[in-house]
Structure 1
Amino acid sequence: MLLSFDVFGTLINVRESSYDAFRSILGESGRPDVDVRAFWEYWEERNISHYWETYRPYKEICALSLGEAFAHFDIPGDPSAISHYFDAFSRFQLYPDVLSTLETLSRRHRLAIVSNIDNDLLAVTPLWREFDLVCTAEKARGYKPDGTLFRYLLEHAGVPLNQILHSGQSQFTDMVGGKPLGLTIAWINRRNIQLAPTVPKPDFIFPDIASLIPLIERMA
Structure 2
Amino acid sequence: MNPKALTFDYFGTLVDVDRGGTLGMAEVLRRLSVETGDSAFDVYLDWDIRNVRLYRGQAYTRYRDVAQQALAAVLDARWPGARRGHALDALADVFLTHLVEASPAHADAVPFLDWAAARYPLMPVTNMDSDLWRRTQLTRYFEHVTTAEMAQAYKPSQAIFALALDRLALPAQDVLHCSLASWADIDGAKPLGMAVAWINRGADTLGTWQPRPDFEFDTLSPVRDVLESLSFTATGETR
On whether the aligned pair clears a TM of 0.5, the verdict is yes
Of 103-112 and 27-36, more deviation after overlay is shown by 27-36
The residue number in structure 2 matching 1:84 is 94
Q: CA deviation at 1:112?
A: 0.9
| Of 110, 113, 116, the match for 2:121 | 110
> Which residue of structure 2 aligns with residue 70 of structure 1?
75
Aligned positions, number:
220
Structure 1 residues 69-78 or 202-211, which shifts more?
A: 69-78
1:195 pairs, out of 185, 206, 209, with: 206
| Equivalent residue in structure 2 for 1:6, among 9, 12, 16 | 9
Tell me: CA distance 1:76–1:205, structure 2 relative to 1, closer, same or farther (3 Å). farther
* Structure 1 residues 1-220: aligned runs within 5 Å: 1-27=4-30, 28=32, 30-52=34-56, 53-78=58-83, 79-80=88-89, 81-88=91-98, 89-127=100-138, 129-220=140-231
Q: Is the 8 A contact 2:18 2:103 kept in 1?
A: no
TM-score (norm 1): 0.90
Q: In structure 2, give the amino acid aligned to 1:193.
A: D
Between structure 1 and structure 2, the one with the greater Rg is 2
Q: Which digits, 9 at most, give the CA deviation of each residue in 1:126-155, with x for residues without a partner?
A: 115231431011111111122221121122
Deviations 1:153-193 (A, max 9, x none): 12212122111000111122112222222221111111222
- Structure 1 residues 75, 189: closer, same or farther in 2, change over 3 A? farther
Note if contact 2:172-2:192 (Cα within 8 Å) is conserved in structure 1: no
3-state secondary structure, aligned to 2:37: coil
Q: Is the 8 A contact 2:117 2:141 kept in 1?
A: no
SS state of the match for residue 187, structure 1? strand
CA distance in 2, matches of 1:21, 1:107: 34
Distance in structure 1 (CA, Å) of the matches to 2:148 and 2:167: 14
Query: Residue 235 of structure 2 corresponds to which residue in structure 1?
Result: none
Structure 2, unmatched stretches of 5+, are 232-239
- 140-149 vs 197-206, greater mean Cα deviation: 197-206
Structure-2-length-normalised TM-score: 0.84
Change (3 A) 1:77 1:195: farther
Identity, in percent, stands at 28
Gaps of 5+ in 1: none
Give distance in 2, aligned partners of 1:216 and 1:93: 25
Q: Is this contact kept in 2: 1:29–1:76, CA < 8 A?
A: no
Q: In structure 1, what is the Cα distance between the partners aligned to 2:117 and 2:172?
A: 19
Alignment deviations for residues 189-220 of structure 1 (CA, whole Å, 9 cap, x no partner):
11222223343222211111112100111223
Report if the CA contact (8 A) 1:175-1:201 is conserved: yes
Residues in 2 aligned to 1:170 and 1:29: alpha-carbon distance in whole angstroms: 33
